[in-house]
Amino acid sequence: MSRIGPAEPWVVREIGLPSDDAGHRQAESLFALANGHIGLRGNLDEPQPSGMPGTFLNSLYEVRDLTYPEAGFAFPERTETVVNAPNGKPINLTVGGETFDLRTGEVRRHERVLDLRAGTLTREVEWVSPGGVEVRLRSVRVVSFERPSVAAIRYSVEADAELRVDSDVAVDEAQPPPRDDPRASAVIEDAFVPVFHDRDLLVHRTRRSGITVAVAVTHLGPEGEIVTGPDRLRWTTTAHGSIAFDKIFAYGWDGLDQRDKARADRDAAARAGFDELLAEQRRYLDDFWAYADIELDGDELVQQGARFGLFHVLQAGAQAGPHPIPSKGLTGNGYDGHTLWDNESYVLPVLTYTHPACVGQALRWRHSTLDQARERARELKLDGAAFPWRTISGPECSGYWPAGTAALHINADIADAVLRYHAASGDDVFMREAGDELIAETAKLWRKVAYLDEEGVAHIAGVTGPDEYTALMDDNVFTNLMARRNLRAAALDEVSGHIAERLAVPYDERRQVHEQSAGFTRLDEWKSFADEDYPLMLHHHYLNLYRKQVVKQADLVLAMVLCGDEFTLDEKRRNFEYYEARTVRDSSLSAPVQAVLAAELGHLSLAHDYLAEAALLDLRAGGESGGDGLHIAACAGAWIAVVMGFGGLRDTGGRLSLSPRIPPRLNRLRFRLRWRGAGLSVTVTPEKVTYQVSSGGIEFRHYGDVVSLNEGEEVTFKLDPIDDRPAPPTPRPPGRAE
């Protein structure tokens, strides 16, 4: 049975083999390699054993019909589902006439290492065949950041026997049945129609979406025989004692020159050679970590989890444009491969301050779908644009409208991401070409849906905020405050400004807390907590959840993080205490945000616990299973918890400010970020904070005081001690207090 080895600073090590399909699925997600353009799940080289085969190309999808027991006006009629692309990973080995299969014989050693600095997955195996032959196998896998369409495998095997290797490109591999979970993907069988095949190339087209994909492959090493058919390309070589080769493959899709592009990219990579691909990968990651790394002295496990999360955020977004960043990245098919609002509110903020080039591409993709968002707004009889809750290519793909169409805050989330990116990057060209139009079109929707009551107060009724357990409410505070920001930035006209300043922010005077939405604090309390009931949505009908004070994920707390200047410190304290007792964290989006506000309010140990929850959610198999792909927002959440939480980073009004503090279990923390071309390093100990500028010049506020530094300069400030306030006295929900 496999296990993740002890925490190491820069690698994730798997020792042994998973014992069941669920274990294989989890490991395949953890050890996925991707570059935002293509993604290879961490399947073994040989096809079996396997949990869920997966090679994903961003925006390679199939269309499915949505059916409803009772249809309604403007319900989406079709959805999109990511499909398993032609797979270049499989390498079958035969030893002395026996198939290399780790379910047989004796596995003396099996170890895989995901190297977060090299950007590689290395596998080493020592196996004795049923016939008694000792076999040593090693493979190294890379998905190139510098060459978005290219992946490569270096493979070597030694044994005192006749060896045969069959290296394949396989199409339409059998998929396991979907999990009984609304977050799981549909399974698309026989997604492709063959178009063309040659000695080095397969070309296919999806049956309904009509996307053509080509994959070109070459093998560098011994002579081999090539056999191709409509759905498989096989390279075979034989030898006694040892075989070693490099397999390089490249994809072309969603364009007019798929064949030529796939071949050209493959040939360029082959000329460069495998060693150069590794060198390019290391240089790319060295640059990334120079501006993104987090150091946490005193918690080795969370240190590993934070870097693991950052690595997968980069893999999800590095080459995403002109495509979206899916909520599972390219590590699995969960959520059907859709992008959701957490892209703009969780993933893009991290990339904005660490690798901003990704963000410009991602937001340009949003802009490329603007016409579809305008059409959706017209369909809903609204103004401007209505961006989809779930999508791959731009149309609304969610058939569950109370948590989808009604979650209009996606418009404001996109506008907020645009404003944040521009403030941090100074990319005026992007604003002229895409950003200004995104802000204006998203704001027009708020001008249409908001209304003024008899007392002149503006309201937005019947919407769903981030908390999907409280749907179709009036005046969701998060939605209203984000809409206000959107309207102010757009400055459309006097009416829009009037609405923005008068938007309601519900407040319960008796309880002295803000209401998540109007009337929320007067709903009945949720009482039927039991460990086996989580997540609640899989054990209780939404009819019950919607009528109770039970919160799936941070909602008002998220509003206090992103719109913190709208609340006093005392309001934040009372609100945090109230909603801690009602938030069940059935979403991976919750813990990072709760960590940020806990840190701001001085609950430093509690914030550290929430940081650990986010950092280790997938890596150590805590919480939800990541078998159908990692939770990329939770991967981003570790950075959010550290930098926005303990670093106190805020960018209110486009101005960078920092208020560092450190939890008692850490001896030192250090993080890095980019701001308008400058590189800033922040080192925090219990006694002091040091700011160092590695490049450019920067101005920011330290606890409200303006600090200006140029390249090569540093400054140190004494930190006043912050008492570690205990967790709020109101108990968290049973089963969610750990």
**Which residues form the catalytic set?**
468
φ and ψ of 356, to 5 deg: -65, -20
- Identify the CA nearest to 328 among candidates 58, 80, 612: 58
Pairing of strands 548-549, 212-220: unpaired
In 116-191, where do the E strands start and end? 120-128, 134-143, 150-170
Sequence letter at residue 737: A
Reduce the DSSP state of residue 413 to 3 states and report it.
helix
Residues 6+ positions from 308 with CB-CB distance below 8 Å: 12, 114, 116, 615, 619, 635
- Identify the CA nearest to 555 among candidates 385, 403, 336: 403
Phi-psi region of 8 (alpha: psi -120 to 50; beta: other; left: phi over 0): beta
Residues counted in the chain: 738
Phi-psi region of 261 (alpha: psi -120 to 50; beta: other; left: phi over 0): alpha
Token look-up 């759905």 returns 231
CB 364 within 8 A of CB 378: no
Helix pair 356-368, 409-425: axis angle to 10 deg? 140
Q: Does an H or E element contain 233, and which?
A: strand 232-253
Sheet with 657-658, edge to edge strand ranges: 657-658, 698-702, 705-709
Reduce the DSSP state of residue 208 to 3 states and report it.
coil
Separation of alpha carbons 473 and 678, rounded Å: 43
Adjacent-strand bridge partners of 79 = 64
346: DSSP letter: I
CB 472 within 8 A of CB 520: no
642: DSSP letter: I
- Identify the CA nearest to 229 among candidates 171, 278, 154, 165: 171
Reduce the DSSP state of residue 158 to 3 states and report it.
strand
Taking CA atoms, 477 is separated from 427, 473, 556, in Å, by 30, 10, 7
Residues 6+ positions from 82 with CB-CB distance below 8 Å: 56, 60, 61, 185, 326, 333, 336, 337, 392
Helix pair 632-639, 300-317: axis angle to 10 deg? 120
CB 130 within 8 A of CB 19: no
Token look-up 């099996």 returns 110
Sequence letter at residue 270: A
φ and ψ of 644, to 5 deg: -80, -30
Does 535 sit behind a cis peptide bond, omega within 30 degrees of 0 on the bond before it? yes
Separation of alpha carbons 131 and 125, rounded Å: 17
Adjacent-strand bridge partners of 229 = 232
CB 352 within 8 A of CB 420: yes
CB 279 within 8 A of CB 114: no
Token look-up 């950092």 returns 615
Separation of alpha carbons 17 and 31, rounded Å: 13
Give one DSSP letter per residue of 650-685, joined into a string: B-GGG--EE-----TT-SEEEEEEEETTEEEEEEE-
Residues 6+ positions from 283 with CB-CB distance below 8 Å: none
Helix pair 258-272, 274-292: axis angle to 10 deg? 90
